Structure 1
């Protein structure tokens, strides 16, 4: 068993799939779409997971982590002893194309329409271009339609190779794009932090795809940049300049300006200078080791030559460090000035907004005075109404207690005489009930 085959079988979902199941998956599954849709759907999902795992691994022997290379090499890598080559691969790729899980690389990069547009499919575009009569004729000979590659069919003939080529795997592209946007949001808000060229973009976000030496492949970078620009509207590009921007930003903010281009050039120059400094420092370290080794071997002249060369390299390093400092200072000045421009734009916008608010008719002096006078009158009316209500309560509540005492004493005197005549009528107290109690109850019932 070859190393490549072992790697494939150790890869999920291969490692959890039985040999008999692999044999079924590797067979021609095209007819299952009509005869056994559930099994067909399950097979397509398994293959989608398997192919994505292959793309994200190093089995393709490329640096690409977002592009599936459907070629003879892939067929050989997928070969498994006792199972053979995947006869279903053409059907799977064609089906995933119809679902926009896989998109041909050239189509992905060149199409001006978002992949999320329902009318983006090449078949629909072709149908519109060639017209219905010609489309019907092509359906009759099997070039397009439900049983064709352009129409999204899974029926792929054994000798058909139209599905081969490089294809962009959309799900990992979507995830990588979200990671890039998250990392970009975490960075400082300076204008220079929003601008890249292709090399700096690959370096800055290379860790997302775990590329070698911290760099993503150039092809992956182009795919992500195109996706971020066309489908996410998160960046704009112009002659190699990549600028992150908001999708709803003003039109002037969604253009690459001369200042933007100058900053990118400055950043590129600084990166090149930093690389030179690193290499010069490495050269000095190397010369130091060589001089030390020569001295240990008692080769004084050779050691002196190394030291002399090291001195020259050190002088050059000092010059490059000075140039690097000047470039970095200049870049900071440019970014500061550009930031000041943005601040002034904010001031202008704020001033215009405040003036627009203050010009509202309701904020004129005569309108304000009229409104305040009306408010004062309303408050005075409310105060008068409140005083009247309080006076009414005082009339009811402030009854003289002396008057009540005199009336009660009169009633008690009548009770002592044996009968009471009030508004309640005449009351005759029973012999066995106190007269005071009888009168009290009568008054309680009346009230």
Structure 2
């Protein structure tokens, strides 16, 4: 196991490349003062490695029946699991755990569960100030024991990662107040394999996570038996209520009965198959026994289904009542907000007074602007002259367009005459009358266009 655990770290932790393993397994505590950067780099690498092996479920579980993903069990088993035939045991692992405990990256399990204040709360006191001073002077390093701290320690980084995954999962699914309420056991069955890469959380892990989400993140309400997921921005009671506990018990019972109906359905199928097999073997006694058991199971299943249907109806009514209560709270809060805003406005009379003053000030501003404009010698613009100038510009633009169109037509006619001449030349002699006729037709079209242009100009003028 020891070599496989080291191989896992070499594969998954970038800092545990083979070139660094001799330094990481050495007693690098002497570097604390001689090479502080190298010392901190080794400590950081080991702290990430310990979190990784705990999260992967490969760390020794001690006396626990299942591995903990959020709790690291530190004792001789951990040293033995990390031991390597080539590099031996990690000689500075005790110093690494001491550093992690000081930085609150590792917290003793019992201290974590019993703490009333958030783990992120760092109160300054005489003792903490003295400890900080001793650390800065190096006295605490000289007094520090190098032995491996023994016990169970919460890996804060792993709990934070699971808390982030839970937050994303909660935001991705819209739930009513009824759906956000669970018993502890129901919450465990629902989320134990959805937060850490599909791995199963132990009961200890779940207790740590519930304490973290309720005390340190404020994402849930939790009283030891009932869990309620909070909705950001919603106005809800700050504690688990009797209604929440009742809803949690109802959901737990409904889940249990639903599971029982599934088991009874499978048992009925098995008993039916046994009865068929007994009949096929002419074993009448076994067939009758299987059919009696099947009949009893069917009767039990029918009663279970009736109970489940009744509980589902009760759950639906409770959910509707909870939604109505939430709606009433929102409407009440909205009414208070409107009342406060109306009080700030001061009623219709005050609004009329404000609007009247605003109109007076706007009129005064207009009067001041007019006086300033007169004093600056405002120039009066003759709109008739502007219209005449615009008409002249438009006539000029129209003449340019007509000339361009006439030039285009002349070019097209010349091109057509040239093409006709070439085709006649290719066919034989070009009749003179054809060319003269084309020229005469061109001159007549030109005269007609000039006459239309002059008539258009006269109409515009």
Q: If the length of structure 1 is used for normalisation, what is the TM-score? A: 0.73
Aligned equivalent of 2:2: 5
CA distance in 2, matches of 1:300, 1:349: 72
Task: Go from structure 1 to structure 2 and tell me whether the alpha carbon gap of 1:89 and 1:368 turns closer, same or farther (over 3 Å shift).
Answer: closer
Task: Go from structure 1 to structure 2 and tell me whether the alpha carbon gap of 1:398 and 1:306 turns closer, same or farther (over 3 Å shift).
Answer: closer
1:342 and 2:339 aligned = no
Aligned equivalent of 1:254: 238
- Cα offsets for 1:143-186 (capped at 9, x unmatched): x934345xxxxxx33xx35x111111111110100111111122
1:174 and 2:178 aligned = no
Aligned equivalent of 2:307: 323
Aligned equivalent of 1:51: 50
Report if the CA contact (8 A) 2:9-2:49 is conserved. Answer: yes
1:188 and 2:174 aligned = yes
1:147 and 2:142 aligned = yes
Superposed counterparts of 1:118-157, under 5 Å: 118-119=122-123, 127=127, 145-149=140-144, 156-157=145-146
CA distance in 1, matches of 2:243, 2:220: 17
Aligned residues between the structures: 370
Aligned equivalent of 2:29: 30
Report if the CA contact (8 A) 2:25-2:89 is conserved. Answer: yes
CA distance in 1, matches of 2:384, 2:317: 87
**Displacement of 1:362:** 4.3
Report if the CA contact (8 A) 2:31-2:39 is conserved. Answer: yes
Structure 1 stretch 172-181 or stretch 99-108: which is displaced more?
99-108
**Displacement of 1:325:** 1.2
**Displacement of 1:344:** 0.8
Task: Go from structure 1 to structure 2 and tell me whether the alpha carbon gap of 1:249 and 1:106 turns closer, same or farther (over 3 Å shift).
Answer: farther
CA distance in 2, matches of 1:34, 1:376: 77
**Displacement of 1:126:** 8.8
Task: Go from structure 1 to structure 2 and tell me whether the alpha carbon gap of 1:20 and 1:342 turns closer, same or farther (over 3 Å shift).
Answer: closer
Aligned equivalent of 1:241: 226
Larger proportion of helix: 2
CA distance in 1, matches of 2:322, 2:384: 83
CA distance in 2, matches of 1:225, 1:321: 33
Q: Which runs of 5+ in 2 are unaligned?
A: 386-461
CA distance in 2, matches of 1:288, 1:399: 106
Q: Which runs of 5+ in 1 are unaligned?
A: 150-155, 401-447
Task: Go from structure 1 to structure 2 and tell me whether the alpha carbon gap of 1:125 and 1:223 turns closer, same or farther (over 3 Å shift).
Answer: farther
What is the RMSD of the two structures over their aligned residues, measured on CA atoms? 3.5
Aligned equivalent of 1:413: none
Task: Go from structure 1 to structure 2 and tell me whether the alpha carbon gap of 1:386 and 1:266 turns closer, same or farther (over 3 Å shift).
Answer: same
Task: Go from structure 1 to structure 2 and tell me whether the alpha carbon gap of 1:92 and 1:126 turns closer, same or farther (over 3 Å shift).
Answer: farther
Task: Go from structure 1 to structure 2 and tell me whether the alpha carbon gap of 1:377 and 1:39 turns closer, same or farther (over 3 Å shift).
Answer: closer
Choose the corresponding residue for 1:79, options 68, 79, 83: 83
- Cα offsets for 1:24-54 (capped at 9, x unmatched): 3223222221122222122112212221221
Task: Go from structure 1 to structure 2 and tell me whether the alpha carbon gap of 1:327 and 1:386 turns closer, same or farther (over 3 Å shift).
Answer: same
Aligned equivalent of 2:350: 367
Aligned equivalent of 1:438: none
Report if the CA contact (8 A) 1:55-1:66 is conserved. Answer: yes
CA distance in 2, matches of 1:33, 1:313: 71
**Displacement of 1:200:** 1.6
**Displacement of 1:101:** 1.5
Q: Please give the secondary structure, in 1, of the residue aligned with 2:121.
A: coil
